Amino acid sequence: MMKLKYIFLFSVLLFCSAKSQAQEERRFIRSGNSHFADSAYLESEIEYRKAIEKSGDSFAAKFNLADALFKQERFNEALDQFQILAGTETDPVRLGQVYHNIGNSYFAMQKLQESIEAYKNALRNNPLDHDTRYNLIAVQKMLEQQQQQQQNQDQNKDQNQQNQDQNQNQDNKPQDSDKDGIPDEKEKQDNQGRPNENQDTDGDGQPDYKDQDSDNDGRPDSQEAGDDPANPKDTDGDGTPDYRDLDSDNDGTPDKDEKQEQPPKQNQQNQQTPPGQMSKEDAQRLLNAIQQDESELQKELRKAKATQKTKTEKNW
């Protein structure tokens, strides 16, 4: 992640005109500035508050007080002080400095969007402030990176949730070793519903849960299971499901000997040719005959031309 360059505008204001401020106010501000330079921010805060008591209109004392609060990481208090100044100050350069530090305060609290808006306000008042412009660009890039990371996290979260749902569905899906639609749990039971993992209806050595034709009647279990394989169909109601019943309809004829319904033929070549129409085979034979006749005719024509040429050459 890009590292933001801290170029905060915590320039402790030193202008203290004797014409506008009392001697004690200037003394407290100078004392506060000295403590600030020594990183004694609490002591500088105390001195700036004394200066404000002497002159409530001192921009320098209020601005530097907010700086001292910021340096103590009391960001909310610092922000309040800067916002008070933003509401009363009219000088564009000073107002640009105030908004710059408002942006820094928001940034320190990780409120990037608010920080960006404050930097923009600073540039509206002082368009030539390059430090503010740098901070604005840097924070905008950081916000874009955060948003991209959040988007990636959301996508990964959604994908993980989908994978979990799919895995859960797979876990909840009944096992079906022979893919006949009938759950293994059902095929590992005898006709009375008692557990029998080795149930082998046709005695071919392959248990029913692995046998796609458990009764070996030529009809796949998937067909005989019916519409609800979890509860296999029992046509004659004798307690033996059709996929295990050699005579599922109890008509005396084994299922393997009964004619199964065949799907309609799709091969149009096997259909009879309607009356009055020529079959494809007849049409092909006729075409072959025509081609043969044409070939013979061409031979006769070439032969006749050759004979005519010979007679012409000898007719002298």
Looking at the fold, whether 79 and 186 belong to one and the same domain comes out as no
Let me know if residue 56 belongs to a domain: yes
Distance (Å, rounded) from C-alpha 225 to C-alpha 244?
A: 10
Let me know if residue 305 belongs to a domain: no
pLDDT at 107 over 60: yes
Looking at the fold, whether 130 and 51 belong to one and the same domain comes out as yes
Looking at the fold, whether 131 and 91 belong to one and the same domain comes out as yes
Give the global pTM: 0.50
Among the listed ranges 51-60, 124-133, 255-264, which one has the minimum average pLDDT value? Answer: 255-264
Provide the number of structural domains found in the chain.
Answer: 2
Looking at the fold, whether 236 and 130 belong to one and the same domain comes out as no
CB 137 within 8 A of CB 143: no
pLDDT at 269 over 50: no
CB 12 within 8 A of CB 36: yes
Looking at the fold, whether 114 and 59 belong to one and the same domain comes out as yes
Looking at the fold, whether 57 and 118 belong to one and the same domain comes out as yes
Distance (Å, rounded) from C-alpha 257 to C-alpha 241?
A: 18
Q: Which domain does 97 fall in, by range?
A: 23-146
| % of residues, the chain, pLDDT over 90 | 38
Query: Which position has the higher pLDDT, 79 or 2?
Result: 79
pLDDT at 263 over 80: no
To 10 degrees, what angle do helices 130-172 and 112-125 make?
160
Let me know if residue 151 belongs to a domain: no
Looking at the fold, whether 42 and 139 belong to one and the same domain comes out as yes
Looking at the fold, whether 27 and 141 belong to one and the same domain comes out as yes
What is the CATH number for 107?
1.25.40.10
Distance (Å, rounded) from C-alpha 16 to C-alpha 226?
A: 97
CB 182 within 8 A of CB 211: no
